[in-house]
Amino acid sequence: MSLSSLLFLTRDALATQQMGINITGANIANVDTPGYTRQRAQIKSTGMIDVAAGSVQLGIAVNRIERIYDRYVEAQLIDQRQKSGYSNELLRGLQNIEVMLDNTSSGGLSDQMNKFWSAWENLSNNPAGLVERSDLLASAQNLTATINSYEKGLNTINADMNRNISDVVSRINDKAAEISQLNARIIDAAGDKGNNNALRDKRLESLKELADMVEINWIEDPYGALSVYLSNGDPLVQGTTTRALRIELDENIRSRIYSTGNPTETINSSVSKGTLGAYIELQNSIIPQYIDYINNCALTLAQGVNELHRSGFDMNQNTGRDFFTIGDMNNAARSIAVSGTIASNTSRIACSSTISGDGDNATKIAAIQYELLMNNRTSTLNGYLATVVGQIGRQTANARTDSDRQTAVMNQLNNQRESASGVSIDEEMINLIKFQMAYTAAGKLCVTVNEMLDTLMELLK
């Protein structure tokens, strides 16, 4: 090998080791950058030359800058983020419902129901008592107000779901647009050796954030562009094109979500992961179920009391009046109220079974609390309420267990990801020393070759 070839070799070696130092510095600088993937210089030989003693390497160069990337772990992590996004948001929604239906404190529905029955029992002992009649009216109004507030609270949570869905769909569209824009930049930078690594990191982080919100599948084409599909196969991102989602409200004021790729068929039933999946399940299934429970309770209460109240006599010996009114049979919990006729004059409370003015009818109404009126006549009203509260408690506990489990799996996968792609300061310092020593050695070789050239030139004078 000639001295000039050696000089070129040292030039390549210096440049290559300098690149290694630069990459190591970038890794160290980004040790705390979310989503950063550790990089490494892939070094190749620039050629060989045959000499009498064998082959000699002509030089080295950086072939490309590669990301230390475990595709399998990243795929698992994206899938897990879909599950965690769903479980965490479902838990939050169930906790809100549980707080709304809290039946343990004074003023809860069961407590108000018990006070209502006690007021009837007190009135049965003193049918003509004005204080007892006023107490009954107050307890009945408190009971209906509590039922109204439960229904209103559940519908408020349901309305919040519309806002949450609107917000998450907007963020899904933004992330999809961001991924498509990054696709375009990655394709443009495909010819640059390693220069699209930062773009790929950013795109992967955007894909993970998208997975937090909605169930997706994805595939990367040979040109480096990422296509993202919803769980039903509708495209969300195709290369540099985005298929946005849109929302319409149905007759029940519930969100229906459509893809521009399939504008006539809602995607609601196919979304079962991510925060969007949790919001859809809460709005379409869980919240309406508990509203139905409260409606059934209100309707059964009103019908049971009214049936007996109509058969009784008030202090004016009148009969046939309802105690409760329900303006909308389909929304009994929202519209149940004490009859205005009774609210304006408690003497119209029919606590007597006969004209004589006994308290037998009040006794019968108080006994409704012991009748099996709910769940196909297997449960009392109070027992039914206890079952409802127990159900939301169990659902919340199960959701909390699932959320904790998904979080544990997520942490484990993040640790695996950090082990494969994260920056280790100790490892980078070792690499830095290695590149520094190689750079120093290449520099010394350059000086030596230069001295040899000087000696040769002196000999030729």
pLDDT in tens, 275-311: 999 999 999 999 999 999 999 999 999 999 999 999 9
35 with 93, same domain: the answer is no
Q: Which residues pair with 338 in a beta bridge?
A: 324
Rounded to 5 degrees, φ, ψ at 222 are -60, -20
35 with 154, same domain: the answer is no
296 with 377, same domain: the answer is yes
Answer for the pair 177, 242: CB distance below 8 angstroms, yes or no.
Answer: yes
The whole model's pTM is what? Answer: 0.86
How many CA atoms lie less than 13 Å away from 332 in the CB half-sphere? 14
If you write DSSP's letter for every residue of 394-445 in order, what string do you get?
A: HHHHHHHHHHHHHHHHHHHHHHHHHHHHSPPHHHHHHHHHHHHHHHHHHHHH
Placement of tokens 């907007």 in the chain: 170
Q: Is residue 169 part of a domain?
A: yes
Residues of the chain short of pLDDT 70, as ranges, are: 1-2, 4-5, 47-58, 104-106, 191-194, 461
381 with 445, same domain: the answer is no
Q: Which H/E stretch holds residue 292?
A: helix 287-311
- Number of independent structural domains in the chain: 2
256 with 195, same domain: the answer is yes
pLDDT tens-digit readout, 332-355: 999 999 999 999 999 999 999 988
151 with 31, same domain: the answer is no
Q: Is residue 415 part of a domain?
A: no
Q: Is residue 334 part of a domain?
A: yes
Q: What is the spatial distance between Cα 113 and Cα 128, in angstroms, rounded to a whole number?
A: 23
Q: What is the pLDDT of residue 306?
A: 97
Q: What is the pLDDT of residue 282?
A: 96
Q: Is residue 249 part of a domain?
A: yes
Residues 6+ apart with CB under 8 A from 188: none
Rounded to 5 degrees, φ, ψ at 75 are -65, -40
Placement of tokens 């510095």 in the chain: 25
**Domain of residue 291, residue span:** 76-409
Answer for the pair 318, 381: CB distance below 8 angstroms, yes or no.
Answer: no
Q: What is the pLDDT of residue 76?
A: 95
User: What token pair was written down for 389?
Assistant: 């509260």
Q: What is the pLDDT of residue 209?
A: 97
Q: What is the pLDDT of residue 51?
A: 58
Q: What is the spatial distance between Cα 456 and Cα 14, in angstroms, rounded to a whole number?
A: 24
Residues 6+ apart with CB under 8 A from 162: 249, 253, 254, 255, 283
Q: Which residues pair with 259 in a beta bridge?
A: 245, 262
276 with 303, same domain: the answer is yes
Q: Is residue 341 part of a domain?
A: yes
For residue 329, give the DSSP letter.
Answer: G
* Listed residue (156, 151, 99, 101) closest to 336, CA to CA: 151
Q: What is the spatial distance between Cα 341 and Cα 69, in angstroms, rounded to a whole number?
A: 75
116 with 47, same domain: the answer is no
Q: What is the pLDDT of residue 105?
A: 65
351 with 435, same domain: the answer is no
Q: What is the rounded end-to-end Cα distance, in angstroms, of the chain? A: 23
Q: Is residue 294 part of a domain?
A: yes
61 with 84, same domain: the answer is no
Q: Is residue 414 part of a domain?
A: no
258 with 166, same domain: the answer is yes
User: What token pair was written down for 350?
Assistant: 């029919």
Answer for the pair 348, 318: CB distance below 8 angstroms, yes or no.
Answer: yes
134 with 240, same domain: the answer is yes
Q: Is residue 416 part of a domain?
A: no
